[in-house]
Structure 1
Amino acid sequence: MQDQTQEKLPDTAQRVADLLAGIGHDKPVVMLPETGKTSAEAAAGLGCSVAEIAKSIVFRRLADDAAVMVVASGINRVDEHKVASIVGPLGRADAKFVKTRIGYAIGGVCPIGHVEKTVMLIDEDLMQYGSVWAAAGHPHAVFNLTPQQLVAMTGAPVVDVALRA
């Protein structure tokens, strides 16, 4: 893993770094030398397992057009039916919807610092890891935290969202 936190962060990653500092989080935003747009790419750059990547998947709730974010283990596919049974019927969230409602571009969607109130759920499978890595507002930016810190930062319930074979 190459730690390039001494370099100037992109604006959206700096916004996340400032948010983290404001809540007393003691881990820096790290810039990956290669993209972390996918869980596999992020894991390769960090030297961790894909399961330890806390990926953010955004849906559009049909009833009120609200953004619904699921923070899931990088190895899991999100079961849209399970999510819908918790929050209501869902539709696709395109890149413009995500950028407008969440405030980050796809590939760097952070679980905190959203521009609008977001309905959030956390994959229970993340709770088994000592720490996980989440996107920090930019496709190359990530930060490390415990699953318990993720729950505390987001206030999101921990639920079963994984598609099981």
Structure 2
Amino acid sequence: MSSLDHPGIHKVVTALAEAGLDSAAAGVRVLTDDVRTAAQAAAALGVEVGAIANSLVFTADGAPLLVLTSGAHRADTALLADLVGVDEVGRAAPDFVREHTGQAIGGVAPVGHPAPIRTVVDSALANHPRVWAAAGHPKAVFPTTFADLVALTGGTPAEVAR
């Protein structure tokens, strides 16, 4: 599979190019195996697990909330609820994730969604000069930076784990 064969990857590459990040789009890697977890992605890329930007979709009082968190830790839902000013943040069901991102769990990218999603970007990702994010398919990733993730998503940088 080339990087543009899959519609999810194509949407991500298009979104990156529209944001002026053609070099990041050109860096999309389609790996041999699925990398649905941060540990799998880190091992496949030969990087620290903390340099993997997990795209986690939650429900925030029923609305989608995308949290780009470092693979080195888990997002704290109570902290997220306080941060975004809602009563409850919970794990989203697979159909909810696909409805709001157009992508399957394990391949959810920070961009390329049908509509913008409120996003929080884990400040721990700033500790890595290059981070890797999913590119719309469980085998696809792209290199980026913390600053570019914030800019691409219009996200709020914050600590997402205690």
Q: Normalising to structure 1: TM-score of the pair?
A: 0.89
Correspondence for 1:161: 160
Could you tell me which amino acid in structure 2 is paired with residue 118 of structure 1?
A: I
**2-side partners of 1:159 and 1:127: how far apart?**
11
Conservation of the 8 A alpha-carbon contact between 2:69 and 2:75 = yes
Q: Deviations over 1:79-122 (max 9, x none)?
A: 11100102212233100000001211000001112213311101
From 16, 21, 46, the equivalent of 2:17 is 21
Corresponding pairs, count = 157
**2-side partners of 1:105 and 1:112: how far apart?**
13
Let me know the Cα RMSD of the aligned residues: 1.4
Could you tell me which amino acid in structure 1 is paired with residue 153 of structure 2?
A: T
Conservation of the 8 A alpha-carbon contact between 2:52 and 2:70 = yes
1:9 Cα shift?
Answer: 3.0
* Residues 8-157 of structure 1: pairs in structure 2 closer than 5 A: 8-25=4-21, 26-27=23-24, 28=26, 29-62=28-61, 65-87=62-84, 88=86, 89-157=88-156
**1-side partners of 2:66 and 2:109: how far apart?**
10
Q: Deviations over 1:112-141 (max 9, x none)?
A: 122133111011100111010000000001
**1-side partners of 2:146 and 2:139: how far apart?**
21
Q: Normalising to structure 2: TM-score of the pair?
A: 0.91
**2-side partners of 1:113 and 1:32: how far apart?**
19
Higher helix proportion (structure 1 or 2): 2
**1-side partners of 2:129 and 2:49: how far apart?**
14
Conservation of the 8 A alpha-carbon contact between 2:77 and 2:90 = no
**2:103 partner SS:** coil
